[in-house]
Structure 1
Amino acid sequence: MNLGAAERMSQLEHIVNTLNYAADLKRRVAQDSAAEILEMAERIAGAFRTGKKLLICGNGGSASDSQHLATELTIRYRSSVNRPAMPAIALTADTSALTAGANDLGYDNVFARLTEAYGNPGDVLLGISTSGNSESVIRAINYAKSHEMQTLAFLGGNGGKMKDLADVSIIVPHTGAADRTQECHIAIGHIIIELIEDLLGYAPAPKPKA
Structure 2
Amino acid sequence: WYRELGIDLMEGFGQTEAMGIAANTAEKRKIGSIGRAIKGVDIKLSDEDELLVRCSGCTPGYYKQPDKTAELLQNGWLHTGDKARIDEDGFLYITGRVKDYFKTIQGKFVAPVAIENEFAKSEHSEQCCLLGRGFSKTVMVCVLTGQASKLDRDTVKKELLALTEQVNDTVDKHARIGAVIVSDEEWTIENGMMTPTLKIKREKVEEKFGEQARAMATQSAEQRELLLEFVG
TM range (shorter): under 0.3
Greater share of strand: 2
Highest RCO, 1 vs 2 (Cα 8 Å, sep ≥ 6): 1
Larger-Rg structure: 2
Which structure shows the bigger proportion of residues in helix conformation?
1
